[in-house]
Structure 1
Amino acid sequence: MTLVVGLGCQRGCEVHTLLDLLESALAEGGIERHRITALASIDRKSDEPGLLALAAALKLPLHCFNAAQLALYADRLSHKSVVAFAHTGCYGIAESAALAVAEHLAGGPARLLITRKKTAQATFALACAG
């Protein structure tokens, strides 16, 4: 099974903030961290130091899609953020990216296993496929 963590964050979000969110959401969902296949976000975050540090710390690839690719998932989101749309062109980064990357890696349909979890600086979602 392919499990992909989708993440959105504010610029300058620290790696420990992302890791805390990831670990608490996985613990709440009863998912062991070693089962995660990849991390996902929007392409404008592909150089975000906190996301890159998280990917390195977890030894996971970070896959990023553009807003047009993520916008295709709008009807499958648990929450549509007008603020996210205004800034990025898609209604939700964490959920959209998790779904997009899970489907890309698995070559088939994905679903949200853990819907959007939000802190002041970051969002998390978990999608599965296969």
Structure 2
Amino acid sequence: MSTAPMLVVGLGCQRGCPASTLRALLDQALLAHGIALDQVRALASIDLKRDEPGLLQLAEQLAVPLTCFSAEQLAGYEQRLSHRSEIAFERTGCYGIAESAALALAEQLGTPPATLLVTRQKGPKSTLALAVVV
């Protein structure tokens, strides 16, 4: 039985961001932090992206669920973000999708308060954060 923590990935992306771009950002973050891909149990984003092809394809490739949260649900995590984006707020109503979604899903699957293992990483057209499920 593995003692490695279960992780969830919060993702934010621009419309049309391909799965390959999201996967490259994920692989880069995992490699940089010495995390195995099999520790990733789920993906999370904002409900505005629930039909985003790149996110859906990435979830399918990794064989993990994609859970989407409303801006109202994500707004509750604002104080815990490492970075607040005015652009994200103007477009979505919350200041950070990747970190907020990762925290929201980690708390839904585990015991609050969740913690970010990897704070916001920015890639081309995308952002990512990793939270630990406890």
Q: TM-score range by the shorter chain?
A: over 0.9
Percentage identity across paired residues of the two chains: 60
Aligned-partner Cα distance in 2 for 1:117–1:35: 18
1:39-98 CA distance string (max 9 Å, x none): 000001010000000000000000000000000000000000000000000000000000
Q: How does 1:84-95 map onto structure 2 within 5 Å?
A: 84-95=88-99
C-alpha RMSD of the superposition? 0.8
Residue in 1 that maps onto 2:58: 54
Aligned-pair CA distance for 1:108: 2.6
Q: How does 1:35-114 map onto structure 2 within 5 Å?
A: 35-114=39-118
Structure 2 alignment gaps of length 5 or more:
none
Aligned-pair CA distance for 1:120: 2.7
Three-state SS of the structure 1 residue aligned to 2:64 is coil
In the superposition, the TM-score normalised over structure 2's length comes to 0.94
Structure 1 alignment gaps of length 5 or more:
none
